[in-house]
Structure formats: structure tokens, C-alpha cells
Amino acid sequence: MFIQQIDAKVTGVSYELLGKGRELAEKLNSDVTAVLLGHNVGGLCDKLASFGADKVVLVDDAALETYTTEPYTHAVHSVIEKYKPEIFLFGATAIGRDLAPRVSARVHTGLTADCTKLEIDEESKLLRMTRPAFGGNIMATILCPDFRPQMATVRPGVMKKILPIEGAKAVVDEFNPGFELNNKYVEVVEIIKKVSNKVDIMDAKILVSGGRGVGSPENFKLLKDLADAIGGEVASSRASVDAGWTEKDIQVGQTGKTVRPSVYFACGISGAIQHLAGMEESDLIIAINKDESAPIFDVADVGIVGDLNKILPILTEKIKTEFAANK
């Protein structure tokens, strides 16, 4: 699988792919190979082993210092030509979504994009690649029987990483595909980093998420107060994003982020299938909705029927009082 690193920091979804890779490899009696591209990134290999890689194919070259499509495509294509994997996975990140289709076209195989489930078919041993289709109303399972590798991009946050194996050491295979001028005809002149002090909702342990029922952007303060009191972050449904009340980077769901926090408060969210796709794996779901037949209650562990404008301030005060009493 392709290991995405930026500034020598491995992107979370790559660890998730390794975890899934372990499970698939065990079913196939095979090994998990991490393909790590970059410059001066060899120090990451043991960490990849600790998250499940049996072997790391390392392509270390100045041409791979920052991501550009052509040298990365050339490198991954060359690795596939040499090692001939049965299965090759990418994270469905901006980079994975750019890279995977090019690689699949070059090696002449299929690509199933944005998978939410991967499993081995017991009989045929083919990879069953499942992804939402037709606006998320059905789940489509796709097979690639005739071409190799079977290739997929996987949504971040969906697969589980394994608990790190202490002291794991990687078997590293350094590979040089050779870079020619026309492999790198794009030059990166400058990188401007977006600086944000916000926590990514995918990393938050507690999320207080709001939907159209919150009613206005100002009313999101009720959610922020609860999040601050409990040490969580604010998230939202797509309806809130579309209304311009919240930013796209906190949208949960099929076209937003997949989250798996310990606690997920769904406030004024109806529970559309596309929203559930992004949060139903949360450990504890607490729903507040004034409509007792809202579908969110079908997945909620705790349901509160009522007006969030009344319930949220009471809940926040109660939590503050409890925390203060237990200090």
C-alpha cells in the first residue's frame, strides 16, 4: 500500500491501511508491504512495521521531497511492475485521489474509489471492494477478477489501525526507479501552509455536532459552550455547511469526514443515511432532536426528545457543575 507522508510525518489513513492490510494478508497467507516515497524518510520505516508492515519498499529521492503527480506516479508504477502485488491500496486523501487513478491507468487495472469496506471473498479469494453508490442510497461491491493489482482508495477514518507493536523492526528494501527529466516537468516554486489552531474533527475524542435544527450560525455557540465544557470539538451536518453556518472542514458524512469519537452528540440532525455513513461507528451516540421519529434515534445510544435551545444550556451547566465538584 501507498504510505502518504508530508514533511516526514505519516498521514493517519496510512496506518489505517496497514491495519486493514494485516487482516487481508492473513486471509491470503500473504505479507503486508508498505511503499514509502519521499526524501530522507527512511527513519519512518520501523514505525510502519510497528503498525503492521512486514516489509517497507523505500523509494528515497530528492525528486520525491514534495508531492507532485508525475514522479510519484512513475515511482509507484515502477514498484508495482517490480513487486507485482495482488492488492494495492491508497488513502482517499487529496494526494491519493490524484495519484491512484494515474497509477491504475498506467498499470492497466481497475480502481475502486472511496471504499468503506474491504474483505476477501472466501471462495474466489478476490478482494471485495465496497463503496457507497447512487448518492449513498446503495452500497456497491466491486470485484476486479481479470487485472492486477486489485486497486482501491479507502476513506480516511473508516478502517482501524492496530495497536502499535513495540520494538518492531522493518525489513527495508530500497528501490530506485530512476527519475528522468520528463518525470518531473512540474516544479514546486513555493508551498504556503494553511495555519490553523483548530483540532481536526477526525482526531477529536468528543464531538458536538449540529444540523439544520440548530437554526442559525449564532446558535452554534450553544454547541461550542458544551464542547468547551466537556473538552470536545464542534462538528456539523452538510445542511449546516450548505447554509453557510459552518465550514466544510467540520462536515461529517459521506461527502465530509468519517469520525469515530468516543462520544458523538448529534444536535438537531435528522440522521440521513449520508450523515450516518460518517459517524455511526462512534462509541457513544447522544441525539437531541425535537422529532421523536427522527432516524437518528435508530442509531443513538441515548436519545433526548426536545428543543436543543432548552436542553443544551442545561446540559452544559450540569457538566460544568459536575466537573467543578469532582476537581
Interface positions with ligand FAD (CB under 6 A): 135-136, 211-213, 237-240, 251-256, 268-270, 272, 274-275, 278, 288-291, 294, 307-309
Please, which residue, 28 or 140, has the CB nearer to ligand FAD? 140
Q: Does the annotation list 268 as a binding residue? A: yes
Nearest approach, Cβ of 160 to ligand FAD (angstroms)? Answer: 21
Please, which residue, 33 or 246, has the CB nearer to ligand FAD? 246
User: What does the alpha-carbon distance between residue 308 and residue 287 come to, in Å, rounded to a whole number?
Assistant: 10
Q: Which among 161, 4, 192 has a CA at the least distance from the CA of 97?
A: 4
Q: Does the annotation list 186 as a binding residue? A: no
Helix ranges (DSSP H) in the chain: 12-28, 45-50, 69-83, 94-107, 220-230, 238-242, 273-276, 296-299, 308-325
Please, which residue, 56 or 250, has the CB nearer to ligand FAD? 250
Please, which residue, 96 or 278, has the CB nearer to ligand FAD? 278
Nearest approach, Cβ of 267 to ligand FAD (angstroms)? Answer: 7
Q: Does the annotation list 269 as a binding residue? A: yes
Nearest approach, Cβ of 172 to ligand FAD (angstroms)? Answer: 39
Is the distance from CB of 48 to CB of 3 less than 8 angstroms? yes
Q: Does the annotation list 255 as a binding residue? A: yes
CA distances from 174 to 22, 36, 39, 252 (A): 22, 10, 12, 39
Is the distance from CB of 58 to CB of 173 less than 8 angstroms? yes
Nearest approach, Cβ of 270 to ligand FAD (angstroms)? Answer: 3
Q: Which grid coordinates are listed for 43?
A: 527513519
Q: Can you tell me whether residue 286 is helix, strand or coil? A: strand
Q: Which grid coordinates are listed for 187?
A: 516544479
Angle at 252 between CA 140 and CA 265, to 5 degrees: 120
Q: Does the annotation list 155 as a binding residue? A: no
Nearest approach, Cβ of 296 to ligand FAD (angstroms)? Answer: 7
Please, which residue, 24 or 312, has the CB nearer to ligand FAD? 312
Q: Binding site for FAD, residues?
A: 212, 237-238, 251-255, 268-275, 289
Q: Binding site, residues?
A: 212, 237-238, 251-255, 268-275, 289
